[in-house]
Amino acid sequence: MAKSRSGREVLRKALGRAAAATVLGALLAATAVACSGADPGPSTSGGTESIALLLPDAKTARYETFDRPFFEARVAELGDYDVLYSNADQDAAKQQQQAESALAAGAGVLVLDAVDANAAVSIVRSANAKGVPVISYDRLIAGGDLAYYISFDNEKVGVLQATEFVDAIQDAGGGGILMVNGSPTDSNAALFRKGAHSLIDESGLEVLAEYSTPDWSPDKAQEWVAGQIAQYGDRIVGVYAANDGTAGGAVAALKAANVEPFPIVTGQDAELAALQRIVTGDQHMTVYKAIKPQAELAAEVAVALLHGEEVTAPMEIDGVPTTLLDPVAVTVDNILETVVADGFWTVEDICTPAYVDACEAAGIR
């Protein structure tokens, strides 16, 4: 049965591509994959040796739409391997069970995007005890012996959000803002918040209230923002939302309350609904992260580790070989040059009949 090229050859080429991806490497057009909540046990894609891919939730659209299919496709290109896939539905205990099931099923590598960075340490230790390497994917796990970490420069994400946010609000005359941060159990959320505060705190804008959104839930973000509207009313000129899901919740609350003029709203992940909100003016910006290079590099490192190869990376964080890719701010002015140019979304995806007029007005055609 045919196996992959050596892990060292795969990884050398992978790191070259990762370096290019820091300036937005070219992406192939993505095929959206609709998927309902996964069962606690891992599903397989067929093969012999196995790699477990453990993702944290389905509320954030990117995981099922991009991360999983990109990862699985690259593994399939590299050789005949099982991908043991699980989605934890934002439940740390469920993710622990899924990891244990994958280890019991013989997974040779875990690629883990942790629901809870602290709770996931026990998963890493269980894998370490079996001699199974763990790749910390997208979110840095708080401890344990990690073999690799791949993500984006998450503090820079917050800086990009805040740069666009502060500039837009100051152009509109300044005022008070709400901050809808990410999940308190997500290690990246703290970095987004830190990056955003580094500019907001020096901007002169008044932070009226701030919230850490449990489970990144759009519904909880909407509920909280609705409560703040009742308290602060038209003093709210902007809402810093840490991702596109919470931005959607914030926008829904603002629209329901008929807030005028409509506040400036940020986001992250370049979700299709967010891009459509940007086209219509309901959301000011998002952050595009080139997920294809991230998922493909994770697959390539996993295969190298499965072969027992030593892996290296451009940098280290806490002694862990690390690759951090560059995020990019997206506004209505550069949709064509970023997400469309890279094939992440097409004009046809964005400019459905309900958005044709807004796209035409924005020059997106």
Q: Give the tokens for residue 52.
A: 């477990």
CB contact set of 213 (below 8 Å; sequence gap of 6+): 180, 181, 182, 183, 220, 221, 224, 242, 246
Contact 267, 283 (CB under 8 A): yes
Contact 123, 95 (CB under 8 A): yes
Beta strands in the chain, from DSSP E residues, in sequence order: 49-55, 81-87, 109-112, 134-137, 148-152, 176-181, 206-212, 236-241, 264-265, 286-288, 315-317, 320-325, 328-330
Distances (CA, A) of 292 to 69, 77, 79, 288, 343: 9, 14, 19, 12, 11
Q: What's at 316, amino acid-wise?
A: E
Residue in the structure block whose two tokens are 């067929």: 46
Contact 83, 50 (CB under 8 A): yes
315/323 Cα distance (integer angstroms): 7
How is domain 154-288+332-362 classified at the CATH fold level? Answer: Rossmann fold (3.40.50)
Q: What's at 102, amino acid-wise?
A: A
Domain 7-146+290-326 class in CATH: alpha beta
Comparing CA positions, the residue from 316, 334, 22 lying closest to residue 147 is 316
125/127 Cα distance (integer angstroms): 5
Region of 258 please: left (phi>0), alpha (psi -120 to 50) or beta: left
Cis peptide bond prior to 261, omega within 30° of 0: yes
| pTM of the complete model | 0.82
pLDDT at position 41: 53
Cα angle at 290 between 318 and 219, to 5 degrees? 90
Domains 7-146+290-326 and 154-288+332-362 share a fold: yes
214/115 Cα distance (integer angstroms): 11
Total residues found in the chain within this entry: 365
DSSP-assigned beta bridge partners for residue 265? 239
| pLDDT tens-digit profile, the chain (365 residues) | 333 444 444 444 444 444 444 333 333 333 233 333 344 456 544 446 999 999 999 988 899 999 999 999 999 999 999 999 999 999 999 999 999 999 999 999 999 999 999 999 999 999 999 999 999 999 999 888 999 999 999 999 999 999 999 999 999 999 999 999 999 999 999 999 999 999 999 999 999 999 999 999 999 999 999 999 999 999 999 999 999 999 999 999 999 999 999 999 999 999 999 999 999 999 999 999 999 999 999 999 999 999 999 999 999 999 999 999 999 999 999 999 999 999 999 999 999 999 999 999 999 99
186/242 Cα distance (integer angstroms): 12
Contact 312, 286 (CB under 8 A): no
Q: Are strands 320-325 and 315-317 parallel, antiparallel or unpaired?
A: antiparallel
Q: Domain residues of the chain, as ranges?
A: 7-146+290-326, 154-288+332-362
198/165 Cα distance (integer angstroms): 13
DSSP string, 226-285: HHHHHHHGGGEEEEEESSHHHHHHHHHHHHHTT-SSPPEE---S--HHHHHHHHHTS---
